[in-house]
Amino acid sequence: MDDEGMYGGLRHPLTGARVDEPTKPAVYAVVIENSLDARPQDGVDRALMVMEAPVEGDITRWLAFFSADEIVEEIGPVRSARPYFVDWATDWDALFAHVGGSSESLALIRSKGTLNLDEFFNTATFWRSKRRVAPHNVYTESKRLEDAWERVVGREVDYKGFEFEEMDPTTVEPTVITVSYGNRYYDVEWKYDPTTNRYSRFHNGSAHIMRNGSSIEVSNVIVMFTDIRVLDDEGRKKIRTTGEGEALVMRAGEAVEATWKRDGLNERTHFVLISGDEAALVPGKTWIHVVPIGAEVTK
């Protein structure tokens, strides 16, 4: 373990960046659309962590995490909640920003006491972009999220960060990770560059670019395998978010087998190595893929 890396210390709890004093900034978890109509998105390249999971229609949606100590001027398109996104936002005591949601997710928000920021009831935090057509046009920004935090929450946060460790590249050769969601428009490639010690996101051989031209680059890519089943004719998914399952942790050019564990709905998801130690991440941004058991992942 890094000398000051466990649960904050003198590191940012989500990124492991060195900080001058212990910090636990407020966290905002924003549901972001990833349909073809929503691309290119805004602000996701600035997210400190993103969780990607399937929704109905054989597409994926993102839960992008931002913190109060950064400024992001456009974040979106923001879309509706799903129960599993509610669960993962709770991991970080995060303010959960979304535009409505499935009936199950809205009921879960009420029962869990989630720090809720629904566009339907908090219009001052969001706006409708004239560049896009509904429903792909809802946006927010970090300043409005900060104001909403003070209005909706107004207290200190309570969460435990990842463990971080400085790691040199384990290879001098570029490598490629592929993660399949069973739809070529949503299958992902991560290309590792040992000169930067980071992974860049690609679709069908092309970089996934934000509207401002920025690419998505992260220091860690994690794949969680879990039970996913279709609930109804609409294709809504039930995703198991507690218990444990297989995982792959990719950082510094290597892929390490691990187990994801979450003891309950009020606990954070941990990634544990065969040794029993929690997997240390390289300081920087993290992207977590949630896929069904048996999904095709090459590394």
The CATH number given to whatever domain includes residue 88 is 3.50.90.10
**Residues 145 and 183 placed together within one structural domain of the fold:** no
Asked whether residue 182 is assigned to any structural domain, the reply reads: yes
Could you tell me what percent of the chain has a pLDDT over 90? 81
pTM: 0.95
What are φ and ψ of residue 36, in 5° steps? -60, -35
Residue partners of 173: CB distance under 8 A and separation at least 6? 194
pLDDT at 2 over 70: no
Q: Which domain holds residue 233?
A: 175-298
Asked whether residue 16 is assigned to any structural domain, the reply reads: no
Q: Tell me the three state secondary structure of residue 130.
A: coil
Six-digit token string for 161: 């960060």
**Residues 76 and 134 placed together within one structural domain of the fold:** yes
pLDDT at 100 over 50: yes
H or E stretch including 138? strand 138-139
- List residues bridging with 59 in a β-sheet: 55
pLDDT at 34 over 70: yes
Q: What is the predicted pLDDT for the residue at 4? A: 47
Burial group, residue 53, by CB count within 10 angstroms (0-12, 13-18, 19+)? buried
**Residues 78 and 126 placed together within one structural domain of the fold:** yes
**Residues 264 and 214 placed together within one structural domain of the fold:** yes
Total count of domains within the chain: 2
Report how far residue 226's alpha carbon sits from residue 103's, in angstroms, rounded to the nearest whole number.
23
pLDDT at 23 over 80: no
Given 137, 152, 167, the domain boundary residue is 152
**Residues 197 and 232 placed together within one structural domain of the fold:** yes
Report how far residue 26's alpha carbon sits from residue 20's, in angstroms, rounded to the nearest whole number.
17
**Residues 42 and 147 placed together within one structural domain of the fold:** yes
What are φ and ψ of residue 103, in 5° steps? -60, -40
Q: Tell me the three state secondary structure of residue 197.
A: coil
**Residues 59 and 141 placed together within one structural domain of the fold:** yes
**Residues 224 and 122 placed together within one structural domain of the fold:** no
The pLDDT confidence band at residue 295, using thresholds 50, 70 and 90, is: very high
**Residues 78 and 142 placed together within one structural domain of the fold:** yes
**Residues 33 and 101 placed together within one structural domain of the fold:** yes
Q: What is the predicted pLDDT for the residue at 6? A: 43
